[in-house]
Structure 1
Amino acid sequence: MKSLRVYLVEDDEDLREEMVLLLSRAGLEVQGVPDAPAFYKAHALAPCEVAVLDIALNGEDGLSIASNLRATGPIGIVMASARGAVHDRVEALQEGADAYMVKPIHIDELIATVRTLGRRVRAMMPKAAVAPLVPAPPASSPSSPRWRLAEGDWVLCDPAGRTLKLTTTERAFLACLLREDGKVVSREALFIGMAVAPHDNDPKRLDVIVSRLRRKAMQAGLRLPLHAVRGAGFQFVR
């Protein structure tokens, strides 16, 4: 059986490199990234089975990442933080974390936690989903396939060429996000870009669109790199 794929999101470079080294020595397939955008790009190309997330990240924090991940399907989530109060733990668990570890983290405890979550995730996945590791193409390569809209923007295509048909509202929503090419777009800007009348600007409307898109994508076997950034808006990482 192949090694567990683990992504470690930590903005302290020295700590990130040390933890990646120690986890790798334990036989785990580990990649370290500094922030949410880098994580989303890596996860979209090669989904991980367990994510270890620092809470206090620059930009989008670990709690927001956990909340987004929990809506995408089976994945193990370990939160790491210097804060050890009960309310901090409760908040992390409510956002979707499976485990909460207080820094400095004992590496043996982290390894055991990651392996336990990995076994649980694999048990929830169909065998076809546990595929051999495939090296991701360089992000800077101009020839790398990307998510795009086709057929008059009525169809969303993933990098592998799989498609998802869109409704009028979904089409307008995704067109706004894709124009910004990975940038976070505020709810207000989305309403303007979608030409929504002011009296219809109910914030929950966008959440409903996102929930529906994620559900449709999962049913079609697509991992949609659509993320809600808490307090900021939405982001589509291509």
Structure 2
Amino acid sequence: MNALHPPVDGWWTLLYRGWTLQMPSGVRVDLTEIERACFLCLLSNPRRELLRDELMAARRRTSMRTLNVAICRLRGKIRKAGARLPLHTVHGVGYAFLGNLRELSSA
């Protein structure tokens, strides 16, 4: 764990321009390009919703299937690291992040 960025209870933190996700436990997970795009979209939405249409408009090469597979893999990656990602499916709309999410720009 990095002493410059100690974990805050309950906070999920994007580091290194969004390429690394730090879980509340302090464990860090590297993100793929599409995973990073999802989190940046969540940060730009004050209600922390990831709307499929918005993400697919921002990433022209992304289909609904690609997005769903990426989210499934991300959940598995986080579960393997010992946590449960608070990203919930909103059927027909997209996803909602029900945890605390922030980005530290200095990392």
CA displacement 1:52-104 (0-9 Å, x = unmatched) = xxxxxxxxxxxxxxxxxxxxxxxxxxxxxxxxxxxxxxxxxxxxxxxxxxxxx
Q: What's the TM-score once normalised by structure 2's chain length?
A: 0.73
Separation in structure 2 between the aligned mates of residue 229 and residue 159 of structure 1, nearest angstrom: 24
Matched with 1:190 is 55
Matched with 1:207 is 68
Shift of 1:213: 0.1
CA contact (8 A) 2:41 2:55 kept: yes
Shift of 1:180: 2.1
CA contact (8 A) 1:191 1:201 kept: yes
Q: What's the TM-score once normalised by structure 1's chain length?
A: 0.35
- 1:148 maps to amino acid: T
Give the length in aligned residue pairs: 92
The 5 Å alignment of 1:164-179 reads 164-179=29-44
> How many percent of aligned residue pairs carry the same amino acid?
37
Gaps of 5+ in 2: 1-7, 100-107
Structure ranking higher on relative contact order (CA contacts 8 Å, 6+ apart):
2
Mark the CA change 1:153 to 1:201 in structure 2 (over 3 Å): closer, same or farther: closer
- Runs of 4+ in structure 1 deviating by more than 6 angstroms, as ranges, are none
- 1:208 maps to amino acid: V
Matched with 1:219 is 80
Separation in structure 2 between the aligned mates of residue 202 and residue 158 of structure 1, nearest angstrom: 27
Rg larger in structure: 1
Per residue, is there more helix in 1 or in 2?
1
Per residue, is there more strand in 1 or in 2?
2
The 5 Å alignment of 1:24-35 reads none
- 1:196 maps to amino acid: R
Mark the CA change 1:168 to 1:201 in structure 2 (over 3 Å): closer, same or farther: closer
CA displacement 1:122-149 (0-9 Å, x = unmatched) = xxxxxxxxxxxxxxxxxxxxx7541120
Separation in structure 2 between the aligned mates of residue 152 and residue 174 of structure 1, nearest angstrom: 11
Equivalent residue of 1:175, what SS? helix
Shift of 1:210: 0.5
Shift of 1:154: 0.9
Gaps of 5+ in 1: 1-142
Instruction: Find the partner of 1:162 among 11, 27, 39.
Output: 27
